[in-house]
A = this chain, B = another copy of it.
Amino acid sequence: MMAYWFESPGEQDDIVISSRVRLARNFDTLYFPSMMDRSGALEIMRTVRGVLEQAGEAYTVLSIDGLSDADRLELVEQHLISPALMKQADGAVLISADKRISIMLNEEDHIRIQCILAGLRLKEAESSVMEVEKHLQKGIAFAFDEKLGYLTSCPTNVGTGMRASVMLHLPALTATGYITGLLKTVGEYGLTVRGLYGEGSHAVAHIYQLSNQVTLGLSESEITDKILSSARQIIGDEREARRLYMASDGRVELEDKLMRSYGVAANARRLTAGEFMSLLSDIKLALSLGLIDGLGHVTLHRLLIEAQPASLRKRAGRDLTLYERDVLRADVVRGALRH
């Protein structure tokens, strides 16, 4: 078994949790999903599987209606499928053997190819999805307009059909209030900042997703270049804000707060989802500041996934009450942090 993205280390993973690229494509010969009937959906599944098999690529195929609610939610928690796909009875996801690639079928678009990697590896994610697209192009004619580029259900995806994002942990920029200005500034560059689970989701644990707002008028590599350059600027700002804080009179106060959070997380017998996320942010910052030995960022990123409801349900092998879930979450967190 290959490791999931959250089980691997990555460049600058003290601040960058993951890099993700997603490419939307549609069949030229079929209605877009909102207008399509079941036979169209099945044709898409058949065709995509066939083309990938011919290309010699090994994928696990999971159809949404064959999955329990908990299994679907677990895939969302792992960032392998979108919340929207969960609700598509005709939806399916193909997951590559190395677990880097997930191909969602019959979501908002016929095909959405996604690559997610730990740390700051946007270029690698980009080339991975482009390679999959090349395979698919051999057997599928994509909806394409000479002037507009690739056509998609939602106009915001027209053009390259590409959405690229990096997930950043920015506690110092949040504490200084700098983040508010940042959210405005990136908009001027055609970028946007969202919470952990995409559009409309709130930033918890000081984790933000930086992604492109525009898919039109830029090449794929120009999009990732832009995000990378902006991300590097933000990462530099976050490091500087941390440095200033640690050089200030507030240092002991900060260390005290962060390490208390670590102590609570490593010993609590009950943790709500909300408290866990807040503690995780403190622990990640404490680790980045060198306050904790013998712990890796990978452990924290695993927890970020494994302490979520569906992952906990899977671990328990049965439905859990809220209370039981909080107890199991505390067990999982304690087990991971104790060393």
Contact = CB atoms under 8 A, between A and B. Distances in A.
B252 A327 contact: yes
Chain A: interface residue count, which band? 10 to 19
Interface in A234-268: 252-253, 255-256, 259-260, 262-268
What copy number does this chain have within its complex? 2
Contacts of A266: 263, 267
Nearest to A256: B269
Contacts of A122: none
Contacts of A256: 268-270, 330
Contacts of A252: 269-270, 327
Contact of A265 (B262, B263, B330): B263
B268 A259 contact: yes
A80 to B, nearest CB: 33
A320 to B, nearest CB: 14
Contacts of A265: 263
A271 to B, nearest CB: 9
A252 B326 CA distance: 11
Interface of A: 252-253, 255-256, 259-260, 262-270, 327, 330
